[in-house]
Amino acid sequence: MRYANALRLPHHAVMKTLPTLLTMAHPGDVSELDVRIKNGTIRADQIVAVIGKTEGNGGVNDFTRGYFTQSLMHLLSVHLDASPAELAARIPCILSGGTEGVLSPHYVVFCRSEEDTPSEGGALAIGLAFSAPTATGEIGRAVHAHQVADAVRAAMRDAGITHPDDVHFVQIKTPCITVARAEAARAQGVEPVSGEPNRAMAYARAAGALGVALALGEVEDGAVTDAALLADMALYSERASVSSGVEISCNEVIVLGNSPHWSGPYRIAHRAMSDALDIGAVVGALADLGLDAAPQLDAAALARIAGVFVKCEPQRQGRVRASRHTMLDDTDINAQRHVRGAVGGLVAGVIGDGRIFVSGGAEHQGPDGGGLIAVIARGQGA
């Protein structure tokens, strides 16, 4: 298995992470980033990762993710001495489609640089890794989870994070199985985990989540089996966020945490969400960063936030607390689109901004029917 990271700076050095929240007018719009690079606010050679939301459907045929990635890599190639393909191989661009309701298309650009001294109490740390390509017959199976686990451990080493408790959010993008890929595998005598694309995406997300859980010690190694995926929902990670898409063939990993060896004004906090109405987890994650939602963040507090990341999932027994929900029975609108809109509205109401990464498909990502929230913010007065 190969691993690649984007920075190539010495790991004994003190590092600094600077995240920047940008908006887009359409899925190929990277004009705000172009302006920031040209005016010197962002250095193109320090960009190591991008996480964002596009306005597609979030399904197998959501090509808005690939469109944005293509636009991003083309822009960076203009500013850097590298081709778009070379940049895509070292800068993970992990996107989730679907901006239902009040959610707004946006992206967070992460820059990493060398600093003189670490910040007192630690600061936001970022680590990256790419796995080798995952074979179609492995996607969504236990072997896939172990491949992701190895990549997460590599990303932790890249961040200089040694203790799993210092990791607060792991964003994964896994490849998915299209009909064409399934047929190509069968022609070689290999049966994919599912030939139905949406079901295969769920298995891929499940494998990614349990890979994170393995790497962070949230589940025992022997518990992750083919039979456990999408079945034993007591197995989950409180810090995994996994998307799956046609635009990649390997597993892209971004690890975010806090480290005493890093510098800068930003820190990250997370909470598990017990269900789609768990506003307490949202308020708690903000409070961990010194942000008071009473009941909504004021303008000064909102200005400190550089990223909000949420995973959510319709409860499989068809209830939210004591009440029945109909998300899984709606044949007109996919359940993931329902839950993204609902949870997005809940979180945006507390934050006071629709630029929130809310991703459905939270299989094994937080408690069943719930999910997780992670927030990156500057310290007060920073």
Q: What does the pLDDT look like over 276-287, one tens digit per residue? A: 999 999 999 999
Identify the active-site residue in 243, 259, 263, 359: 243
Across the range 156-162, mean pLDDT stands at 95
Cα angle 257, 45, 106; round to 5: 60
State the Cα–Cα distance between residues 38 and 40, nearest whole angstrom. 5
Q: Is the pLDDT of residue 90 over 90?
A: yes
Residue 274: active-site member:
no
Q: Is the pLDDT of residue 9 over 70?
A: no
pTM: 0.94
Q: pLDDT averaged over the chain?
A: 94
Helix, strand or coil for residue 61? Answer: coil
The sign one gets for the Cα dihedral 331, 241, 289, 93 is negative
Residue 119: active-site member:
no
Q: What is the pLDDT of residue 259?
A: 95
Identify the active-site residue in 16, 173, 194, 311: 173
Q: What does the pLDDT look like over 193-230, one tens digit per residue? A: 998 988 999 999 999 999 999 999 999 999 999 999 99
Kind of pairing, strands 106-115 and 14-23?
antiparallel
State the Cα–Cα distance between residues 182 and 143, nearest whole angstrom. 18
Tokens 């518990």 locate to 223
* Residues facing residue 270 across a β-bridge: 374
Q: What is the pLDDT of residue 370?
A: 95
